[in-house]
């Protein structure tokens, strides 16, 4: 019976999802209420994410991938406990700049990266190393 359920699930997913462990942020269509998440599975058509906290979901959300600097407009396909499946509608590169109406996603990305830098510094990394690790350029103070 478990095998049948697994087969039914894979039939619904048309593209193979690969397991990953990436940082991300889920937010509503306006960039409000950003929630950090972990991207657990990723394919060209969607993702499985794990949320650190719960919040009221819209039918469409943005997933911001902090590793690749991409954002995805996605429909929520399913929700189970602390995980959710997303089906991508459209994707947007955030570097160097996203389209004008989506500039708020660049702010969501930068805020998330700054939280990652703070967490790494709290774990003992130098600010220079932490900024490099999350893909930000560290500019030292000119003397």
Look at residues 77, 105, 85, 75 and name the one whose alpha carbon lies nearest to residue 42: 85
pLDDT of residue 17: 66
Segment 92-126, tens digit of pLDDT? 999 888 888 999 999 999 999 999 999 999 999 99
Determine the Cα–Cα distance for residues 97 and 105; give it in Å rounded to an integer: 10
77 falls in which pLDDT band (50, 70, 90)?
A: very high
32 falls in which pLDDT band (50, 70, 90)?
A: confident
Answer whether 66's CB lies under 8 Å from 53's CB: no
Domain assignments of the chain as residue spans, ordered by start: 2-97
Segment 35-71, tens digit of pLDDT? 999 999 999 899 999 997 777 777 899 999 999 999 9
First to last CA, the chain: 69
Q: What is the pTM of this model?
A: 0.81
Residue 26: CA atoms inside 13 Å, Cβ hemisphere, count? 28
Q: Which residue has better confidence, 75 or 52?
A: 75
pLDDT of residue 7: 43
What is the assigned CATH class of domain 2-97?
Answer: mainly beta
């Amino acid at each position: 019976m478990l095998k049948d359920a697994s087969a039914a699930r894979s039939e619904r997913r048309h593209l193979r999802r690969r397991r990953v462990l990436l940082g991300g942020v889920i937010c509503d269509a306006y960039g409000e209420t950003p929630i950090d998440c972990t991207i657990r599975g990723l394919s060209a058509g969607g993702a499985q994410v794990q949320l650190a906290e719960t919040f009221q979901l819209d039918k469409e959300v943005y997933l911001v991938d902090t590793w690749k600097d991409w954002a995805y407009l996605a429909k929520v396909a399913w929700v189970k406990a602390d995980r959710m499946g997303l089906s991508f509608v459209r994707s947007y590169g955030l570097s160097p700049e996203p389209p004008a109406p989506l500039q708020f996603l660049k702010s969501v990305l930068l805020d998330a990266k700054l939280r990652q830098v703070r967490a790494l510094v709290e774990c003992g990394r130098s600010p220079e190393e932490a900024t490099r690790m999350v893909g930000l350029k560290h500019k030292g103070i000119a003397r």
